[in-house]
Amino acid sequence: MSIAMPRIDTSKKPALQDWQPAYIVYQLRLKGLSLRRLSRLHGYAAGSAELANRLPWPKMERLIADALGVTPQQIWPSRYHDDGTSKSGRGERVVSRHKPKDITGGTRRNVDLERAV
């Protein structure tokens, strides 16, 4: 009497894995960048890009992917649908470029705009 071994279905494609955070850092280093420098180049706090390795942040993911010359779906396939939209539902938001409110009633600002640029 022989016991039938269950057949393993190998016809299915394996699930795509997200890149390891260390591999992303390695690829950026090859390009002469770091997560901290990439954050600062785009006007974010120095540690901001590191959050994209742990949490879904479509805009930062796009900046990292652009720096590496790939799409965010290639780096984080678990975070994106097949059509390229983010699974987090956050999307890439556009920051409005409106003038800050002046509570003094005048046009004074804390920063001289010509010197700040």
Per-residue pLDDT tens for 64-101?
999 999 999 999 999 888 888 888 766 555 544 445 44
Return the residue matching tokens 């942040």. Answer: 57
pLDDT of residue 43: 94
Question: Are the beta carbons of 73 and 16 closer than 8 angstroms?
Answer: no
pLDDT of residue 38: 95
Per-residue pLDDT tens over the stretch 17-56: 899 999 999 999 999 999 999 999 999 999 999 998 888 9
> What's the pTM?
0.64
Rounded to a whole number of angstroms, the distance between the first and last alpha carbons of the chain is: 83
105: left (phi over 0), alpha (psi -120 to 50) or beta: left
Q: What domains, with CATH codes, occur in the chain?
A: 24-79 (1.10.260.40)
Distance CA 73, CA 85 (A): 9
